[in-house]
Amino acid sequence: MRIDLHCHSTASDGTDTPAELVRNAAAAGLDVVALTDHDTTRGYAEAVAALPAGLTLVTGAELSCRLDGVSMHMLAYLFDPEEPALFAERELVRDDRVPRAQGMVAKLRELGVPITWEQVARIAGDGSVGRPHVATALVELGVVPTVNDAFTGDWLADGARAYVPKHETDPFEALRLIKGAGGVAVFAHPAASKRGRTVPESAIAELAAAGLDGIEVDHMDHEPATRARLRGLAAELGLLATGSSDYHGSRKTCVLGEYTTDPEVYGEITRRATGAFPVPGAGGAGSGAGAGAGTRADV
Ligand code: AMP
Ligand code: ZN
Ligand code: FE
Ligand code: FE
């Protein structure tokens, strides 16, 4: 069983449509793939409809959080996408992403970059707009060679010249919301220090005491020594340890299934979830049941 529990589509800042993502996941030999777009469930229906036989879809989202001024991401799996409180919080974060991206465009223009909001809006399409879309505009303009090169102190890294913060949820509140919607919570890339400041281990312990289910251990932004330390911390705190690619299509270098989650850990996630069930691919015209078909979706 090959299980990849963290992937993005065009519903946020990935470059595969949800349909392309599930097809590519099957082609990559995955048995289970999670769709975890930033602050949105809008890709679910398309992914379910295109799900190939033999691939199971785990519905989820990556929620933008902030603790003591440090941005962090919380993966939420198999929650009820219609549960009103979590629905409203996702909407709040997504809505704030638009003026925030416009603010980054304004800062870049002050720095002499001829970027426009129209360009960023075109790149983002109907996905929740984020820094990777602004970074893609900078690549198009020849300001930086790659998306990664835009995440520096000169441009878009946390606190950089053109950075603007967005509304981010307190992670303890996020845990309450995820649990209230029947979901399972996994702290994404908790020690990805090249992205900016990370939270201390004491905070992970507090989150564990508040109901956190797991931490993402095997991730491209964690060095081998970091993974070993996090694996030990997970064991100590009784947390599940997951692994995943954080696939973003062509916007990042990682490939589907680059890191995977142990089947026993996956089984425990599905046992804990009460908000939604994994959707087995029927192949062809869509499997009908499960999260996606006919539900009130994020826009
Ligand atoms: P946003 O949610 O708009 O603040 O953008 C955050 C996203 O930007 C993350 O999910 C990553 O996809 C990407 N990102 C953040 N830091 C970096 C980095 N140092 N290098 C490349 N991508 C990054
Ligand atoms: Zn992203
Ligand atoms: Fe993330
Ligand atoms: Fe991610």
Query: Could you state, in order of their start, the residue ranges of all structural domains in the chain?
Result: 3-90+167-294
Sign of CA dihedral 18, 86, 88, 119: negative
The residue type of 229 is R
Ligand nearest to the CA of 247: 4
Residue 75 backbone phi and psi in degrees, to 5: -80, 130
Which residue is closest in CA terms to ligand 1's atom 17? Answer: 195
* pLDDT value for 283: 64
4 lines ligand 1 (CB under 6 A): no
d(CA 7, CA 243): 11
d(CA 61, CA 36): 4
195 lines ligand 1 (CB under 6 A): yes
Q: Which fold has domain 3-90+167-294?
A: TIM Barrel (3.20.20)
Question: Coil, strand or helix: which one is 203?
Answer: helix
pTM above 0.85, yes or no: yes
- Please give the number of the atom of ligand 1 that sits closest to the Cα of 166: 4
pLDDT digits (tens, 9 = 90+) for 227-248: 999 999 999 999 999 999 999 9
13 lines ligand 1 (CB under 6 A): yes
- Please give the number of the atom of ligand 1 that sits closest to the Cα of 13: 12
Q: How confident is the model at residue 287 (pLDDT cuts 50, 70, 90)?
A: very low
